[in-house]
Amino acid sequence: MGTRGSRLAMAQADLALEAIRGLPGNLAPEIKVITTCGDRDRCTPLEEMGGYGVFTKELDQRLLSGEIDLAVNSLKDMPSALTPGTRLLAVLPRGPVADVLVSKVPLEYLPPSSLVGTSSVRRKALLKHFRPDLQVAELRGNITTRMNKWRRGDYQAIVLAEAGLGRLSDQTTRFTIDPAEWVPAAGQGAIALVCRDDDDRMNALAGLDHAPTRRCVDLEREVMNGLGASCQVPIGVWASLATDGLRLRCLWLDADGSWAKRFEKVVKEGEEKKVMVEEMRRQWRWEG
């Protein structure tokens, strides 16, 4: 079972390992740590490195070569179109979807010109949209590195995923940002297990797939794939369970935060997703 070597990646691999050990058959996978280009280069902005796939492409390569049989990824880091020859075997129960502001005060109370760090194009655009008076700066590195930079005062605040901090049991003061307004990235909060598409042995792990989470993240990824949206596009996509289907919230912003376009719809069971994406394209005047 391949994973990156950061504390968060290892914590997520441990969650996957615990889930696998709970299945029949006394399964005990070996964990293999793989360093990706995103781990080696902690300075270049992610969008300049290719964005989606920076942290997953090399795990896919090790899968296809047979060096590993299973890859554990943060689903939000995966491209909406899978690497040919791989399949999304299972998605574990989703954690919190929201972003959080690590700061001494909530976002609305940060003093003007405060320096806020993030590596995400989406989060940068959201910060500029909701608080154009702030300074937004690039912040690379794993969660531990980012938190240390905030603690020593390099930034007045940083934006991270709530799920990641929770999995590290970090108790630092932070403020959850309403995901209905500050729409998260597709797949945020979910852990994905990826295998080779011809490896039928991995079907023994199919019981790990959490159906409610899978329904939501599959829709989010379908929207991203249908729009052809890349990591250079500031866009949030979040699907949640509703009484009569899935409630889909999407937010597309200009990179400088000067405008934002929203789309919200309850997607009913059996509804044609391509038709819905075309409706979104028309409303947004999306050209891809």
| Dihedral angle sign, alpha carbons of residues 167, 73, 240, 225 | positive
Tell me whether residue 77 is one of the annotated catalytic residues.
Answer: yes
Per the CB < 8 A criterion, the answer to whether 97 and 188 are in contact is: yes
Determine the 3-state secondary structure of 248 from DSSP.
strand
Q: In what order do the strands lie in the sheet with 115-118?
A: 135-138, 115-118, 157-161, 99-102, 174-176
Gap between the Cα atoms of 39 and 21, Å rounded? 28
Of 138, 238, 136, nearest to 182 by C-alpha is 238
Which of left, alpha, beta for 206 (phi over 0: left; psi -120 to 50: alpha)?
A: alpha
Alpha carbon distances (Å) from 102 to 6, 76, 107, 174: 20, 20, 9, 4
Q: Tokens in use for 55?
A: 């942290």
**Among 41, 77, 197, 200, the one annotated catalytic:** 77
Residue 213: CB partners within 8 Å, gap ≥ 6?
91, 92, 93, 94, 190
Active-site positions read 77
